[in-house]
Amino acid sequence: MNKQQGSNKKGKASGRGSGNSRNTSYARGNAPIKKQVVTNNTPKSEPKKSNPGDIRLNKYIANSGICSRRDADMHISTGLVSVNGKIVTEMGYKVKLEDEIRFDGARVNPEKKAYVLLNKPKGFATTTSEGKGRTVMDLVANATSSKIKPIGRLGRNSLGLILFTNDEDVAKKFTNSKNGVPRLFHIELNKNLKHEDFIKIKEGFKVEGKLVAVEEISYIDKGSKKEIGLKVKNTGSTIIRTIFDYLKYDIEKIDCVSIGQLTKKDIPRGHWKHLTEQEVISLKML
């Protein structure tokens, strides 16, 4: 009996065949480990995904070519960077491409700078708006992935050079009321330009109280008196129409033949080219 009782106690201690859970051995790791495996197989909550259009602020600045990411972090921490008008000093801050980022007051563009020169044909409107029929943007659609815009305007039936860029500093040169960038136009009128009108244009005159002035005017060599060379610093061709409408001439042709030192050489009508590094430097020095 004693031996039986002793063996029964031993059996109880092992937990085999016994319903007493308090004495159950976990040496083989049965129930608890199985339960944990089941628990681990339950669907996990997915990590929060960031907006694919977001970009870290330091990368945004670095992409613009201003400085490295490390230096960008330093400038951010010292309060030199603003996002949509508010100073941001937080590391890892994310922005969208359409946000207005300024570094030390100057607008930052995260895209690679692009400079495209188009020799515009007739029948294309100078606009970035859709629903305007054929536009100059159709002609440069494959020129670059950067978001370039035309500087200045040429009428739908005007011809010649238009510069496209995403470089705001260059764009400001064209719109600067004091300096501007000279553009040379070849103009053909419906009749000969009278000498007195030639002098009036050369010296400048007022239309509705506003001074209308040009940089230079000349008759085209080996051409008739109907063909005029006119250099202006305005971004559009409106001033040209203002001049000749006031003087009672009809314009039959407007052709922009140069912008600063940029010419139509080796650019057939309807084609474009990227500016060379030297051409960009020369343009910025105007």
61-113 tens-digit pLDDT:
888 778 889 999 999 999 999 999 999 999 999 998 889 999 998 888 777 88
Q: What average pLDDT does the segment 221-250 reach?
A: 89
Q: What average pLDDT does the segment 244-249 reach?
A: 96
Between 111 and 210, name the one with better pLDDT: 210
C-alpha 185/C-alpha 160 separation (Å) is: 8
| Local confidence band at 215 (pLDDT 50, 70, 90 cut-offs) | very high
Residue 47 has pLDDT above 50, yes or no: no
pLDDT reported for residue 180: 79
pLDDT reported for residue 119: 98
- One-letter-per-residue 3-state SS of the chain: CHHHHHHHHHHHHHCCCCCCHHHCCCCCCCHHHHHHHHHHCCCCCCCCCCCCCEEEHHHHHHHCCCCCHHHHHHHHHCCCEEECCEECCCCCCEEECCCCEEECCEECCCCCCCEEEEEECCCCECCCCCCCCCEHHHHCCCCCCCCCEEECCCCCCCEEEEEEECCHHHHHHHHCCCCCCCEEEEEEECCCCCHHHHHHHHHCEEECCEEECCCEEEECCCCCCCEEEEEECCCCCHHHHHHHHHCCCCEEEEEEEEECCEECCCCCCCCEEECCHHHHHHHHCC
125-167 pLDDT per residue, tens: 999 988 888 999 999 999 998 889 999 889 999 999 999 998 8
pLDDT reported for residue 167: 87
Residue 177 has pLDDT above 90, yes or no: no
| Local confidence band at 172 (pLDDT 50, 70, 90 cut-offs) | confident
What is the bridge-based pairing of β-strands 115-120 and 106-107?
A: unpaired
Number of residues assigned to the chain: 286
Count of other CB atoms within 10 angstroms of residue 271: 14
Q: What average pLDDT does the segment 15-37 reach?
A: 46
pLDDT reported for residue 49: 53
Dihedral of CA 164/166/167/170: which sign? positive
Among 58-62, 159-163, 191-195, the range scoring the smallest mean pLDDT is 58-62
Residue 221 has pLDDT above 90, yes or no: no
Residue 46 has pLDDT above 90, yes or no: no
C-alpha 119/C-alpha 117 separation (Å) is: 7
| Local confidence band at 231 (pLDDT 50, 70, 90 cut-offs) | very high
pLDDT reported for residue 25: 46
C-alpha 45/C-alpha 66 separation (Å) is: 40
| Local confidence band at 52 (pLDDT 50, 70, 90 cut-offs) | low
Between 175 and 229, name the one with better pLDDT: 229
pLDDT reported for residue 50: 58
Q: What average pLDDT does the segment 236-245 reach?
A: 88
Q: What average pLDDT does the segment 45-58 reach?
A: 67
Report pTM.
0.68
